[in-house]
Amino acid sequence: MTEINQIEANDLVQLQGFEGKTKIIKLIKGQSHQSKDGVINHDEIIGLNWGETIASHMGKRFFCLRPALDDLLRSVNRKTQTLYPKDMAYILLSMGIGPGDEIVEIGTGSGAMTIAMAHSVGTSGKVFTYERRPEIQQTAIENVERLGYSQQVEFVLGDVVDGIGQSNQRALFVDMPDPEMYVEQFKNCLQIGGFFACILPTTNQVSALLLVLKRNGFALFEVSEILHRYYKPVARRLRPADSMVAHTGFLVFARHVDENELKDKL
């Protein structure tokens, strides 16, 4: 693979300090990055090789790394509560999202999941993402743009109660507090066999959603939770970290199946 190894203008660079501090910036000729650790001129980074280090005017050194999706997702401006990489990763795999796919998202939020999906479907795919609140959508648009995924994302401002513009979709991801109110709309959006996924913080919401999904031609349910436990990466004193994120949300998966078959049988 003849990947270009030199950092260029307009690249996103992850400045990773020795002590674990991390910041993702977009390199603009003539600009500079300022933090408590000092000033770094973008022009000094442009032309370096990926992986080299740069020092601030205060002498603090940072690795100049190509940001990973994981890093990008953590850098997203969070005006709303967002999913964690552990959840996003499993949702994507569970619905089998890959290059060229289309997917519909209800509840854009800050756009973290939008970006994860846009990354997975690539420029030949498409993510349609719905958000009711204009100012939240604006944040997401900026996040998606900054990280270079605008081409494959279509933002829709509006309430799902008015219907979802896409139909016959193979995958739908929902992140909203009362999804049980919109199951009819979800059904009209999904093809038979299509994948439905949802994240919900409380057990009561999960119960409410399951009840309505089961009455409306959904089947093959999975409810699960992903827990991510970090360890202190010290060879001679290996141990779990003292505290952990104990809950982000319950994941609910289902598939839209042939309703008449279900009615006959269940």
Choosing from 38, 188, 208, 216, the residue that interacts with a copy of itself (CB under 8 A) is: 208
* Structure tokens given for 83: 């999913």
The closest alpha carbon to 264, from 213, 222, 217, belongs to 217
Residues of this chain, 9-38, that bind a copy of itself according to CB under 8 A: 16, 18, 20
- Indicate the DSSP class of residue 49: B
Please state the length of the chain. 266
User: Least distance from C-beta 82 to a copy of itself, angstroms?
Assistant: 13
Asked if 1 is part of the footprint of a copy of itself (rule: CB under 8 A), the reply reads: yes
* Residues in region 93-112 near a copy of itself by CB under 8 A: 93-96, 98-100, 102
Q: One-letter amino acid identity for 4?
A: I
Give the list of residues 6+ apart from residue 253 with CB closer than 8 angstroms, or none: 94, 95, 195, 196, 197, 198, 220, 221, 222, 223, 224
Smallest gap from residue 152 Cβ to a copy of itself (A): 10
50 is a contact residue toward a copy of itself (CB under 8 A): yes
Closest to a copy of itself by CB, 138 vs 223, is 223
Q: Is 47 in the site for a copy of itself (CB under 8 A)?
A: no
Question: What span, in angstroms and rounded, lies between the C-alpha atoms of 145 and 94?
Answer: 26
Residues 114-173 that bind a copy of itself (CB under 8 A): 116, 119-126, 166, 168-170
| Cα dihedral sign, 215-217-221-227 | negative
Structure-block tokens of residue 89: 């990763």
| Binding footprint of a copy of itself, residue count (CB under 8 A) | 103
Residues 217-246 that bind a copy of itself (CB under 8 A): 219-246
Distance of closest approach, residue 250 Cβ to a copy of itself, in angstroms: 7
